């Protein structure tokens, strides 16, 4: 527990940071160059200072609404496939992926616990430059999932509206889009988040694997094998013959997870309803929401922010 002096220091630090209204969290602070939700600043700080990474740790990193839940499920299923070989008694049928693979930022709030078995698999929305040194310096691995910024916008706009905290009211799509184009969104700007991990994946391909939601949708079999190889848990020929990859894909599929009793009700992280993590699970749903001028504006921003980085999106 913090005493009055620490609380006063925290308040002082916060009051010196630029502040904006969030989409779901009333206050976002520009902390270490990203828009950190006020309720997580202390946690991100503790994470940076205290987290001790083990060489065997695995991090599923992402910008919110990029496919985190899906990749957490796939990663958990890959690395634990020897313990839970039967699809009928798998923990993913009785726990939400966010319970099995906790977000490190929420771990310090008390309701989510650190995994006790190795390899420990964690999730994080923290941008690459703000990760603790022990993650950078250890041999642990990071898998980043990236999604096209059009679908992220729609997914975020619909999700954040459902989970928003008092006293926030519904953001009109135009208002949300304006914020999005200025990078003002929980853990934004989205472009620096993606580019940070992208560059690291190019510099250290054995440390950071950069995936795209669209590629996972397109050829899950190929991507699941790639993840398993990267993590040092490759599938044997026998496993391939026994359709182990296919059963992992099926177990983690959108339909299976959305319709699983465990994901239909209840909350995680103290205030998030599990059912809201499963909406449509499709690519290109953005065409149902974007006007021509919004499309043009976002295309320009993408060109400006990603031009020359080598990172591109199939729009």
Give the binding site for ligand PAP (CB under 6 A).
Answer: 62, 64-70, 151, 155, 252-254, 257, 277-281, 285
Residue ranges of the alpha helices (H) in the chain? 4-15, 38-50, 68-79, 97-100, 104-107, 133-137, 149-163, 173-181, 190-203, 213-218, 220-231, 237-241, 244-251, 254-258, 261-264, 292-306
Q: How far apart (Å, rounded) are the C-alpha atoms in residues 188 and 219?
A: 29
Number of other CB atoms surrounding residue 260 within 10 Å:
17
**Closest distance of CB 161 from ligand PAP, Å:** 12
**Closest distance of CB 139 from ligand PAP, Å:** 26
**Closest distance of CB 214 from ligand PAP, Å:** 11
- 125 assigned to active site: yes
In angstroms, what CA-CA distances link 297 with 173, 191, 290, 314? 14, 14, 10, 16
Q: How far apart (Å, rounded) are the C-alpha atoms in residues 113 and 55?
A: 19
Return the number of the residue (77 or 257) whose C-beta is nearest ligand PAP.
Answer: 257
The tokens 């299976």 sit on which residue? Answer: 256
Q: DSSP secondary-structure letter at 139?
A: S
**Closest distance of CB 8 from ligand PAP, Å:** 33
Q: How far apart (Å, rounded) are the C-alpha atoms in residues 33 and 127?
A: 9
Take residue 140 and report the two structure tokens written for it.
């642990």
Return the number of the residue (66 or 130) whose C-beta is nearest ligand PAP.
Answer: 66
Question: Which member of 88, 90, 113, 125 is catalytic?
Answer: 125
Return the number of the residue (144 or 278) whose C-beta is nearest ligand PAP.
Answer: 278
Q: How far apart (Å, rounded) are the C-alpha atoms in residues 3 and 152?
A: 39
Return the number of the residue (13 or 63) whose C-beta is nearest ligand PAP.
Answer: 63
Return the number of the residue (150 or 198) whose C-beta is nearest ligand PAP.
Answer: 150
What DSSP assignment string belongs to 14-33?
HHTS-EEE-SSSSEEEEETT
**Closest distance of CB 29 from ligand PAP, Å:** 19
Point out the residues that are catalytic: 125
């Amino acid at each position: 527990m913090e005493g009055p002096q620490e609380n006063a220091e925290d308040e002082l630090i916060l009051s010196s940071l630029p502040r904006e209204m969030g989409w779901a969290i009333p206050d976002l602070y520009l902390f270490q160059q990203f828009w950190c939700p006020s309720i997580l600043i202390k946690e991100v700080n503790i994470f940076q200072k205290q987290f001790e990474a083990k060489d065997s740790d695995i991090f599923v990193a992402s910008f919110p609404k990029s496919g985190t839940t899906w990749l957490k499920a796939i990663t958990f299923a890959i690395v634990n496939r020897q313990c839970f070989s039967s699809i009928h008694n798998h923990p993913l049928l009785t726990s939400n992926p966010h319970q099995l693979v906790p977000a490190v930022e929420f771990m310090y709030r008390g309701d989510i616990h650190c995994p006790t078995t190795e390899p420990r698999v964690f999730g994080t929305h923290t941008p690459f430059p703000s990760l603790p040194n022990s993650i950078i310096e250890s041999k642990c691995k990071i898998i980043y999932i990236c999604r096209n910024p059009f679908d992220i916008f729609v997914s975020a706009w619909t999700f954040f509206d459902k989970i928003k905290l008092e006293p926030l009211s519904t953001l009109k799509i135009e208002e949300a889009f304006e914020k999005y184009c200025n990078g003002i969104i929980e853990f934004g700007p989205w472009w620096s988040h993606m580019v940070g991990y992208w560059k690291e994946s190019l510099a250290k391909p054995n440390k950071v694997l950069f995936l795209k939601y669209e590629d996972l949708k397109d050829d899950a079999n190929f991507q699941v094998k790639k993840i398993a190889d990267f993590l040092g848990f490759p599938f044997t020929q026998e496993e391939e013959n026994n359709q182990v990859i296919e059963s992992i894909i099926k177990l983690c599929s959108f339909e299976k997870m959305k319709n699983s009793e465990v994901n239909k009700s209840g909350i995680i992280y103290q205030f998030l309803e599990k059912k809201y993590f499963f909406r449509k699970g499709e690519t290109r749903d953005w065409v149902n929401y974007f006007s021509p001028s919004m499309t043009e504006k976002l295309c320009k921003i993408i060109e400006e922010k990603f031009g020359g980085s080598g990172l591109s999106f199939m729009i």
